[in-house]
Chain A
Amino acid sequence: MRKRVLSCVFLLALAFAGPAAAVEPDEVLSDPALEARARELSAELRCMVCQNQSIDDSEAELARDLRLLVRERIKAGDSDEDVRNYIVSRYGEFVLLKPRFSVRNALLWATPVVVLAGGGLLVILSLRRRSARHAAPLSVEEEAALKDILKK
Chain B
Amino acid sequence: MSVELGHFALVLALALAIVQAVVPFAGARLGSQTLMRVGEPAAVTGLALVVGAFAALVAAYVQSDFSVLNVWENSHSAKPLLFKITGTWGNHEGSMLLWVMILSFFGGLAAVFGRNLPPTLKANVLAVQGLIASAFLLFILLTSNPFTRLEPAPIEGRDLNPILQDIGLAVHPPLLYLGYVGFSISFAFAIAALIDGRVDAAWARWVRPWTLAAWAFLTGGIAMGSYWAYYELGWGGFWFWDPVENASFMPWLAGTALLHSAIVMEKRSALKIWTVLLAILTFSLSLLGTFLVRSGVLTSVHAFASDPTRGVFILAILVFFIGGALTLFAFRGAALAPGGLFHPISREGALVLNNLLLTTAAATVLVGTLYPLLIEALTGDKISVGAPFFNLTFVPLFLPLLTAVPFGPMLSWKRGDLLGAAQRLQAAFLIAAAGGLAAYFITDRASAFAALGMVLGFWLILGALTDLALKSGIGKAASSVALRRLIGLPLSVFGTALAHAGLGLTVLGIVGVTALEKEQILTMRPSEVTGIGDYSLHFEAVRPVTGPNYTEEQAVFTIYAGGVARGEIISAKRLYTARGMPTTEAGIRTFGLSQLYVSIGDSTADGGLVVRIWWKPLVILIWLGALVMMTGGAVSLLDRRLRVGAPARRRSAPVPAAEKA
Cα A51 to Cα B581 with chains together (Å): 19
Q: Does A68 contact B (CB under 8 A)?
A: no
- Given A6-B242, A98-B386, A98-B389, are A13 and B232 also a contact pair (CB < 8 Å)? no
- Given A10-B244, A25-B522, are A20 and B661 also a contact pair (CB < 8 Å)? no
**Residues B371 and A107 in contact, CB atoms below 8 Å apart:** yes
Q: Does B381 contact A (CB under 8 A)?
A: yes
Contacts of A148 in B (CB 8 A): 661
Cα A3 to Cα B232 with chains together (Å): 12
Binary flags per residue of B530-572, CB closer than 8 Å to A gives 1, else 0: 0000000000000000000000000000000000000000000
Q: How far, in Å, is A57 (CB) from chain B's closest CB?
A: 7
Cα A96 to Cα B372 with chains together (Å): 12
Residue of B nearest to A118 (CB): B360
Among B361, B583, B660, the residue within 8 A (CB) of A17 is B583
- Given A44-B388, A97-B388, are A19 and B584 also a contact pair (CB < 8 Å)? yes
**Residues B359 and A115 in contact, CB atoms below 8 Å apart:** yes
**Residues A94 and B383 in contact, CB atoms below 8 Å apart:** yes
Residue of B nearest to A108 (CB): B371
Q: Does A11 contact B (CB under 8 A)?
A: yes
Interface residues of B in 230-247 (CB under 8 A from A): 232-235, 237, 240, 242-245, 247
Q: Does A137 contact B (CB under 8 A)?
A: no
Cα A134 to Cα B646 with chains together (Å): 28
List, sorted by A's number, 18 A–B pairs whose CB atoms are closer than 8 Å: A5-B163, A10-B229, A11-B176, A13-B298, A17-B581, A19-B573, A23-B521, A46-B386, A52-B240, A53-B240, A97-B385, A108-B389, A111-B368, A115-B359, A119-B356, A123-B352, A130-B341, A145-B661
Residue of A nearest to B74 (CB): A14
- Given A99-B383, A99-B384, are A12 and B164 also a contact pair (CB < 8 Å)? yes
Contacts of A46 in B (CB 8 A): 384, 386
Contacts of A3 in B (CB 8 A): 240, 242
Q: How far, in Å, is B346 (CB) from chain A's closest CB?
A: 10
Contacts of B645 in A (CB 8 A): none
Q: Does A125 contact B (CB under 8 A)?
A: no
Interface centre among A13, A97, A104, A148 (most CB of B within 10 A): A13
Among B95, B397, B581, B658, the residue within 8 A (CB) of A116 is B397
Cα A98 to Cα B573 with chains together (Å): 33
Interface centre among A17, A24, A96, A120 (most CB of B within 10 A): A17
Q: Does A30 contact B (CB under 8 A)?
A: no
Q: Does A8 contact B (CB under 8 A)?
A: yes
Residue of B nearest to A20 (CB): B234
Q: How far, in Å, is A151 (CB) from chain B's closest CB?
A: 11
**Residues A11 and B173 in contact, CB atoms below 8 Å apart:** yes
Contacts of A119 in B (CB 8 A): 356, 359-360
Cα A8 to Cα B299 with chains together (Å): 12
Among B245, B359, B657, the residue within 8 A (CB) of A10 is B245
**Residues A99 and B245 in contact, CB atoms below 8 Å apart:** no
Q: How far, in Å, is B365 (CB) from chain A's closest CB?
A: 10
Residue of A nearest to B91 (CB): A14
**Residues A108 and B385 in contact, CB atoms below 8 Å apart:** yes
Q: Give the size range of A's interface with the partner.
A: 35 or more
Interface residues of B in 279-326 (CB under 8 A from A): 289, 293-294, 298-299
Cα A112 to Cα B602 with chains together (Å): 43
**Residues A145 and B657 in contact, CB atoms below 8 Å apart:** yes
Cα A13 to Cα B176 with chains together (Å): 14
Cα A78 to Cα B232 with chains together (Å): 36
**Residues A20 and B244 in contact, CB atoms below 8 Å apart:** no
Contacts of A124 in B (CB 8 A): 344
Binary flags per residue of B597-638, CB closer than 8 Å to A gives 1, else 0: 001011000000010100000000000000000000000000
Residue of A nearest to B376 (CB): A94
The interface of chain A, by Cβ under 8 A from chain B, is 2-3, 5-15, 17-25, 28, 43-44, 46, 51-54, 57, 92-99, 104-105, 107-108, 111-112, 115-116, 119-120, 123-124, 127, 130-131, 134, 142, 145-146, 148-149
Cα A28 to Cα B338 with chains together (Å): 62
Q: How far, in Å, is A97 (CB) from chain B's closest CB?
A: 3
Contacts of A149 in B (CB 8 A): 657, 660-661
Cα A17 to Cα B341 with chains together (Å): 55
Q: How far, in Å, is A4 (CB) from chain B's closest CB?
A: 9
Contacts of B352 in A (CB 8 A): 123
**Residues A24 and B657 in contact, CB atoms below 8 Å apart:** no
**Residues A5 and B233 in contact, CB atoms below 8 Å apart:** yes
Q: Does B375 contact A (CB under 8 A)?
A: yes
Interface centre among B225, B242, B582, B658 (most CB of A within 10 A): B242
Residue of A nearest to B523 (CB): A25
Contacts of B361 in A (CB 8 A): 112
Q: Does B367 contact A (CB under 8 A)?
A: yes
**Residues B584 and A6 in contact, CB atoms below 8 Å apart:** no
**Residues A127 and B225 in contact, CB atoms below 8 Å apart:** no
Binary flags per residue of B500-535, CB closer than 8 Å to A gives 1, else 0: 000000000000000000000111000000000000
Q: How far, in Å, is A61 (CB) from chain B's closest CB?
A: 13
Q: Does B162 contact A (CB under 8 A)?
A: yes
Contacts of B363 in A (CB 8 A): 111-112, 115
Q: Does B30 contact A (CB under 8 A)?
A: no
Among B387, B397, B602, the residue within 8 A (CB) of A97 is B387
Cα A25 to Cα B612 with chains together (Å): 9
Q: How far, in Å, is B93 (CB) from chain A's closest CB?
A: 11
Cα A129 to Cα B338 with chains together (Å): 12
**Residues A52 and B384 in contact, CB atoms below 8 Å apart:** yes
**Residues A13 and B234 in contact, CB atoms below 8 Å apart:** no
Cα A50 to Cα B216 with chains together (Å): 33
Contacts of A18 in B (CB 8 A): 581-582
Contacts of A53 in B (CB 8 A): 240
Q: How far, in Å, is B516 (CB) from chain A's closest CB?
A: 15
Among B169, B172, B173, B234, the residue within 8 A (CB) of A2 is B234
Binary flags per residue of B392-403, CB closer than 8 Å to A gives 1, else 0: 110011000000
Q: How far, in Å, is A2 (CB) from chain B's closest CB?
A: 6
Residue of A nearest to B524 (CB): A25
- Given A46-B386, A97-B385, A148-B661, are A2 and B244 also a contact pair (CB < 8 Å)? no
Cα A52 to Cα B240 with chains together (Å): 9
**Residues B90 and A12 in contact, CB atoms below 8 Å apart:** yes
Other A-B contacts than A10-B229, A99-B383, A123-B356, 14 sampled, CB-CB below 8 A, are A7-B298, A8-B164, A12-B293, A17-B163, A17-B583, A46-B384, A97-B384, A107-B371, A112-B363, A112-B397, A116-B397, A119-B356, A127-B342, A149-B661
